[in-house]
């Protein structure tokens, strides 16, 4: 996504001098802006509305139900920004962390809305690095028989995009920036560092 507001806010996140409070606020603002793009294809229906002047037909969002699923921890930072635009969305949670040695995702928590199979799901995680966590999160949600899944990442590495496209070609990826590469520790370059640590102030 190349909107100037997104690019500006992303540069704030990348700056190592940005503190926890601003980092959190800007992650949330970016999620709101990205949500605007990622919901562009929501179906509309015509309804009759009486304005103070006359009655006419107008568009509203058709009955499609949405759920958002943040990948813990860092995905939590994007939830409020999405709910600003879609306040009635249900929220599931997946807990995954990357093993620092193998870089493989390890699952530690999962709680989904009961009717998740009937909903379109947007998975939230600020970082798409090797793609291991995203691919596992998508598979998890597919196991609940969800048909329509989107992935929303603030920054992605080419390796992560390739992995998700390979494992889940049916899932569209929405990202604000596509960075250059991964370093030897699996961090995105230039990236923004460890998103979870920067959102929660754990480093």
Is 79 a binding residue for ligand PRP by CB under 6 A? The answer is: no
78 in Cβ contact with 70 (< 8 Å)? yes
Using CB under 6 A, count the residues that bind ligand URA.
10
Is 102 tagged catalytic?
A: yes
Is 144 a binding residue for ligand PRP by CB under 6 A? The answer is: no
Beta carbon nearer to ligand URA, 12 or 86: 12
Return the residue of 31, 71, 122, 175 that touches ligand PRP, per CB under 6 A.
71
Is 99 tagged catalytic?
A: no
Helix (H/G/I), strand (E/B), else coil: 44:
strand
Q: Per CB under 6 A, which region of 5-13, 79-87, 138-146, 194-202 contacts ligand PRP?
A: 194-202
d(CA 86, CA 66): 8
d(CA 174, CA 155): 10
d(CA 14, CA 180): 14
d(CA 116, CA 118): 5
Is 2 tagged catalytic?
A: no
Minimum CB distance to ligand PRP, residue 202 (Å): 8
Where are the alpha helices (H) located in 3-146, listed in sequence order? 4-14, 20-38, 76-85, 132-142
Minimum CB distance to ligand PRP, residue 192 (Å): 11
Single out the residue of 121, 60, 61 nearest to residue 90, CA to CA.
121
126 in Cβ contact with 154 (< 8 Å)? yes
Write each residue from 150 to 189 as x if it is in contact with ligand PRP (CB under 6 A), else as -, in one continuous string.
----------x-------------------------x---
Q: Which residues contact ligand PRP by CB under 6 A?
A: 71, 73-74, 96-98, 103, 105, 125-134, 160, 186, 194-196
Residues belonging to the binding site for uracil are 188, 193-195
Q: Which residues contact ligand URA by CB under 6 A?
A: 74, 127, 129, 186-188, 191, 194-196
């Amino acid at each position: 996504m190349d909107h100037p507001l997104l690019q500006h806010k992303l540069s704030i996140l990348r700056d190592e001098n940005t503190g926890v409070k601003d980092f959190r606020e800007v992650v949330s603002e970016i999620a709101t802006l990205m949500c605007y793009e990622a919901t562009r294809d929501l179906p509309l229906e015509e309804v009759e509305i009486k304005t103070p002047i006359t009655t006419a037909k107008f568009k509203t969002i058709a009955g499609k139900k949405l759920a958002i699923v943040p990948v813990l921890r860092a995905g939590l930072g994007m939830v409020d920004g999405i709910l600003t635009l879609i306040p009635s969305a249900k929220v599931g949670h997946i807990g995954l962390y990357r093993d620092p040695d193998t870089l493989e995702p390890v699952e530690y928590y999962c709680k989904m809305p009961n009717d998740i199979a009937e909903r379109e799901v947007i998975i939230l995680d600020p970082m798409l690095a090797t793609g291991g966590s995203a691919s596992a999160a998508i598979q998890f949600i597919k196991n609940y028989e969800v048909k329509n899944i989107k992935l929303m990442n603030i920054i992605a590495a080419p390796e992560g995009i390739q992995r998700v496209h390979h494992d889940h070609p049916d899932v569209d990826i929405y990202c604000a920036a596509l960075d250059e590469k991964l370093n030897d520790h699996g961090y995105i370059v230039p990236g923004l560092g460890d998103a979870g640590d920067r959102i929660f102030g754990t480093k």
